[in-house]
Amino acid sequence: MAVISAHCPDIKVVVVDINKGKINAWNSDNLENLPVFEPGLKEVVKKQRNKNLFFSCDIKNAISEADMVFISVNTPTKKKGLGAGYASDLKWVESSAREVAKYSKGHTIVVEKSTVPVRTSELIKEILEGVSKNETGKNEKSFAVLSSPEFLAEGTAIKDLENPDRVLIGGDDINAINQLSKIYENWIPKYKILLTNVWSSELSKLTANAFLAQRVTSINSISALCEPTGAEIKEVASAIGYDSRIGDKFLSAGPGFGGSCFQKDILNLVYLCRYYGLKEVANYWEQVITLNNWQRRRISNLIIEKFYGSVSLKKILILGFAFKANTNDTRESSAISISKDLIENGAQLIIHDPQVKPKQIEYEMGQEINDSSTEGGWQFSKDIYESAIDADALVILTEWETYNNIDWEKLFKIMRRPAWIFDTRNIVPKKKVEILGFKFWGLGKSVIN
């Protein structure tokens, strides 16, 4: 929305939320307090806020003044009830649609931005049409519903929004499609704006995420085969990436994909396939999740095995807790399950992340910071070198730029021998650290000497 406001000075953008704390943070004078860390975001907010970009809890007014409403709420995996563990929970989409139905005036275009299961627009339409007829008696209100899923990735959100590969608009109301397209055309070439029917649009979003997650899982699965065979995952990824049919992007092996979207969207796809009787298709996609969990477990097991089966009271420095670099988002981060596994085995973790706050880690771990030296706890690291004193190992889980500049010589001097490095993101200079004396394991790197 901030990027829309930057490119469309004549459009007033109002972002509303029921969460007062969040809205206050978006309005905070100190731009470091914005609820989301995203490179380039605070600059856009600073430029546009209170000009044509507003953050408010006054949902009623904002909707009644709006010509177009974007529904951009969470659609997490259902925790209970029908489809629990797989289907997306649409309660926020539904309640947003009800608010729009209640407060809108005249004609309103409703744009589904959240990632939703196929045919959700039908649900929105039903709510909008039902309420407009029942409450007013006559059709004082009218609506057009479009789907326009978001393809930005965290950490590169502003870049992705400024220069997207494509924008998708699904719907059948030509007037509404044109109005939404006109907004995007302020900065996006028209050939990149794709028009489809509403269900193709909804399904394309789920499919894009499923394909991306599958690709990461594919390269991760090969990383496991590289290690015992003498192949190097970076060389394999580069070699296959030269094939223009495969392409070279999204082929970095890692500790398993995280983030709020991939797992949720695949589970949703699995649910939809089962619902439509496509058991084999559902099983195929579910395997991506199974393998992703396996990769995480493989890493924690391997660390434990390198310590001859016990990490009890071992001091292990975890570098990176966010699910990827350049974000403070920890949702579904592989660091969560790997850290929990190590703690369950008695390790004392010291967790470092340049953007994630200790409170957030506490929430994800379901365990408070533990300052004592008892088995199976964790502490927060403010300084890598201080935390590395007498550490038995360090594990790189997020590919933060700052970890490329670690002074390995300094670390080796202060860590306890045998001083292990486990690099799950392939950013550590293997030869250099081995010469210094570290024991080293790198994901997808040959273990044959």
Rule CB under 6 A: say whether 323 interacts with ligand UGA. Answer: yes
Among 117, 254, 377, 444, binds ligand UGA (CB under 6 A): 254
Strands 377-380 and 348-352: parallel
Nearer to ligand UGA by Cβ, of 62 and 269: the residue is 269
Kindly state the smallest distance separating residue 120's Cβ from ligand UGA, in Å. 15
Rule CB under 6 A: say whether 171 interacts with ligand UGA. Answer: no
Q: Which x/- pattern, by CB under 6 A, does the window 261-280 give for ligand UGA?
A: xx------------------
Among 117, 164, 259, 377, binds ligand UGA (CB under 6 A): 259
* 122 among known catalytic residues: no
Residues 120-159 that bind ligand UGA (CB under 6 A): 150-154
Nearer to ligand UGA by Cβ, of 83 and 149: the residue is 149
User: Catalytic pick from 38, 227, 261, 273?
Assistant: 261
Rule CB under 6 A: say whether 209 interacts with ligand UGA. Answer: yes
Among 77, 88, 252, 424, binds ligand UGA (CB under 6 A): 252
Kindly state the smallest distance separating residue 261's Cβ from ligand UGA, in Å. 3
Segment near ligand UGA (CB under 6 A), from 119-127, 173-181, 255-263, 361-369? 255-263
Rule CB under 6 A: say whether 112 interacts with ligand UGA. Answer: no
Size of the site for ligand UGA (CB under 6 A): 20
Segment near ligand UGA (CB under 6 A), from 41-49, 50-58, 208-216, 431-439? 208-216
Among 42, 78, 315, 324, binds ligand UGA (CB under 6 A): 324
Kindly state the smallest distance separating residue 148's Cβ from ligand UGA, in Å. 12
Rule CB under 6 A: say whether 257 interacts with ligand UGA. Answer: yes
Segment near ligand UGA (CB under 6 A), from 49-57, 80-88, 251-259, 272-280? 251-259
Q: How far apart are CA 369 and CA 379, in angstroms?
A: 5
Nearer to ligand UGA by Cβ, of 292 and 345: the residue is 292
* 261 among known catalytic residues: yes
Rule CB under 6 A: say whether 389 interacts with ligand UGA. Answer: no
Rule CB under 6 A: say whether 341 interacts with ligand UGA. Answer: no
* 8 among known catalytic residues: no
Alpha-carbon Rg for the chain, nearest whole angstrom, is 24
Residue 94 CB neighbours (<10 A): 17
Nearer to ligand UGA by Cβ, of 386 and 401: the residue is 401
Nearer to ligand UGA by Cβ, of 323 and 380: the residue is 323
Rule CB under 6 A: say whether 424 interacts with ligand UGA. Answer: no
Rule CB under 6 A: say whether 117 interacts with ligand UGA. Answer: no
User: Catalytic pick from 99, 150, 332, 364?
Assistant: 150
Rule CB under 6 A: say whether 251 interacts with ligand UGA. Answer: yes
Own/partner pairs, 38-44, CB within 8 angstroms, 24+ separation: 38/154, 38/155, 38/157, 38/158, 38/326, 38/327, 39/155, 39/156, 39/158, 39/326, 40/157, 40/158, 40/159, 41/2, 41/157, 41/158, 44/2, 44/3, 44/5, 44/6, 44/158
Q: How far apart are CA 17 and CA 59, in angstroms?
A: 7
Nearer to ligand UGA by Cβ, of 253 and 415: the residue is 253
Among 250, 275, 284, 307, binds ligand UGA (CB under 6 A): 250
Residues that bind ligand UGA (CB under 6 A): 115, 150-154, 209, 212, 216, 250-252, 254, 257-259, 261-262, 323-324
Instruction: Kindly list the catalytic residues.
Output: 150, 205, 261
